[in-house]
Structure 1
Amino acid sequence: MDSASAEDLTCPVCQENFKDPFVLTCKHRYCKECLRSSWRDKKTKKCPMCRRRSSQELPPVMCILHKVEAQLFCVEDKQYVCLACVNSEEHTNHTFRSIRGFISSYKETKERSSSESEEICGLHDEKLQLFCQEDKQPVCVECVYAETHTSHTFKSISEAASTYKEKLKTKMKTLEENRKHKENIKGEFEESAKHIKVKVEQTQKQIEHQFETLRQKLEEEKQAVIAALREEEEKMMKKTVEEIESQISTITDAIKDTEEMLKTSDDCLLKKADVLMKRVQISQPDPELPSAASINVSRYLWNFMSNIKKKMEETINSFFQDTPVLLDPKTAHQHLIVSDDLTSVKRRENLPDTPVKPYYPYVLALKGYNSGKHSWDVEVKDSKFWTVGVMTESNHKKGGDVFKSDNWSVHYDNYGMTAWAGFSVNQNLERVRVELDYDNGAVSFSDPVKNTPLHTFTTTFTETVFPFFHTLDSLKILRLSDE
């Protein structure tokens, strides 16, 4: 059979030999089921190939057995049946579907079959072996000679796929690096979140402690003022009572003496009559009774509020003086561990005692300074190798040998590892005090234990500087209450 006769017997929708063919007025032929599937749920019926409208109606599906219009589809027998067939012996225990449901399933099956055969050229029914670089799509050998691909360049499918795979691998590598970068950021965030949580909890405890301290001081002041008020009340009442009781006692004594004289003889009474008359003529002014107006309310309230203000200021000043420089774990060298309260740093265990030079395990403070005066004390007694001071923010970010410039520090090296460019101390100290005067461009170092100066740097600061702490052992930032 030649290609022309084969094409005449093939449905252009299902690409199979016609099954119950139907001819449209445009002369294109289709399987009735393919045409029903194409026209399903469409208001305007068109030829699937030429898109010409058709007024033709497909004949109803007929039941072969009873010669009436079919209403169901028998899944087992693969044929249309009427309602009478459902109860017939020929279809006992068979499964039935609605014609509409069968047509929908038929169309889906055809579409899936078409997608599974994408490796075959839809125009020439040949295997796709080449890739058109201009059209960016696979083609068959016959397509090379088609007018639509004139002057186009082609690659083998494998070569083109290899090129795209390499591009995708490159993109994948970039995506992997980006994901790793995001995971690192997530890790840093989680680490920061942990330190933030610790700091919040510590701050909450400090607030509660300071509030309780202030409450106790206020309570003490309240009790002291009330006690003073009660004492004044007691003194005032006692004075008045004592004065009244004294007068009553004087009168009582006069009455008693008079009663005794009245019991004596007349001549005795007359002898002492003048004295007795003077005795009974007692003249005492009534004591001045205390008044509520005599309580100086303003004085008590003024003293009370003044003392409260003083104690609050003392508590607030104490709180701020007690807050140390805090360390930033994100800036810590990988060989260092920063404590949870961010006030101390130590070297990790199981690391070489004499690492390869240059070696700069340091950590910055959480806060930098660009104005004002600031000071902090560092406990260095447990470290045989340390450096403390300040450095610029840009110096830290550049990495490398950060101690060659843009830092002002003192250094102690009991290991004899390297000559220090800055100021070195020869004796091991217990503590070092760092004093920064940003506005006047000075960084001073001293021994607070012996109260002796170590060294002072003078410069002109042009950017933010951060306290830093460099050690091969451990360092601790002291609170003023620890001094």
Structure 2
Amino acid sequence: MSGSYEEQFLCSICLEVFSEPVTTPCGHNFCKSCISQHWDTSRSCSCPLCNEVFTIRPKLKKNTLLSEVVSKSKREVELWSKKVSKPVDVECDVCSEPKLKAVKSCLVCLSSFCESHLQPHLTVSGLKRHQLMEPVDDLEDRMCPRHQRPLELFCNTDQSCVCTRCVLLEHKNHQYESLEEACERRWSSLQKTVAQSQDMVEQRRLKVQEIRAALDQSQTEADQETQQMVKVFSDIMESVQRCLDHHLEVIKQTQTKHKECAEALIQQLQQEMCELEKSSTEAQQLSLSTDPLHFLQHCTALPPAGLKDWSSVSFEPQTCEGSVVRALSELETSLSQEFNKVFTQLPKIDQLRRVQQFAVDVTLDPDTAQPHLVLAENLKQVHHTNAKKKLPDSPQRFDQCPGVLGKPSFSSGRLYFEVQVKGKTKWDLGVAQESVNRTGTITCSPKNGFWTMWLRNRDTYKASADPSVLLSLKRPPQKVGVFVDYGAGLVSFYDVDSADLIYSFTDCSFRGKIRPLFCPCTNDGGTNSAPLVITKVQTDRL
């Protein structure tokens, strides 16, 4: 028992049973006094077992579980030792000083006897019937307090030691066994308890390591994200500052030109005012002349020639009205370009995670489904059949194109959804204006209000641009993600499994509400019978 006990509950510093066990950040256990003294006398604060160095001395916390296990094990070991260990140096109760060593104890006399004082029990007929045993010093504890008989059996029903009289009376029909058998069974159970407790300690130590490793990884990723975020927002703030400086400079230059124009007009007016005042003075002087010849010769020069007609000239105050609106509009465009620039520089998994945060719960709209289409009860799947359902005519419903719109509709913000296309040979997928034409033959293109990508002939992928764009994919996508940024006029398609960006429509001119569009295409005799499935967005597997 002691060997197994010591192996599992020894402090690696003092090599003694744990006393006030504490756990270090690396998950190892030591006596509180041992590890504290070790750190007090060491230059660095490190673990004596794994040598992990701690930059700051950790605050030690009591290992409650290990402490309870050690305490419980100590008590059980002491109890077991008390019951099964052979007593040593039990003194004879009859001898006077000096007392000799007892060789037997009598459960009837409740005394221990040396070899000479034991002789009556071996020779006297009445004493021969007494029950003798190896010498022990706790004879009274070994007697039944009710019947004053030796405790020789263990009652499994009541989990207590009993005498033969107890078995016949108070413990009748109970299950019992010898003390030796009960002790062996309890000893085996104790060993299992110790082993299980140590396993639990080890499991928790490993869990601590797992959590700390995850925390370290989280901190590393947080630091990286912080650096990246600081850079991105610094670039954005610089872009905003540049936009502000530009528009302030435009206002300043405009006002400067306006001021120069006003000053030129004022200068011209002042010059003409001077000429007119001079002419007026000359006219007053001339009016005082008494010489007819002199008056007639100089009167023809008045008023001065070349004066401008100012009645048609106006100078309106320069207004900056609308400058803020124009500035914000240009800033929005600039920031959108900056966002897209930053976005394209991110790792592709980060790009997909970024758009997945705008996931919305999209369902199919039965009122828009073409009559050959079959929708699942949860409105998450659609496939084409040859049987045409009898449905009332409605301008909301596609009558020829095997398509169906999704819900809800959007007129602002960002949205993202994913669609499984596995097993299909052709399909169309994307978004459309809510106001698109749904009757007759339909050509999907942005000018008609459709922003889609499609598959034909199992391996031909195109984007429905003007004109359509042939797409070169590394592998056929099994699940397609659709992202829309309404304000930025952006529609992007992703291969969800590889996180690759397939294609993006930019500078889209959305008019009013837009809605998701699903077209499973005709089933082609069963070769294209697999459904389009709107799936739940899962980011934890990337």
State whether TM-score is above 0.5. no
Q: TM-score, normalised by structure 1?
A: 0.39
Q: TM-score, normalised by structure 2?
A: 0.35
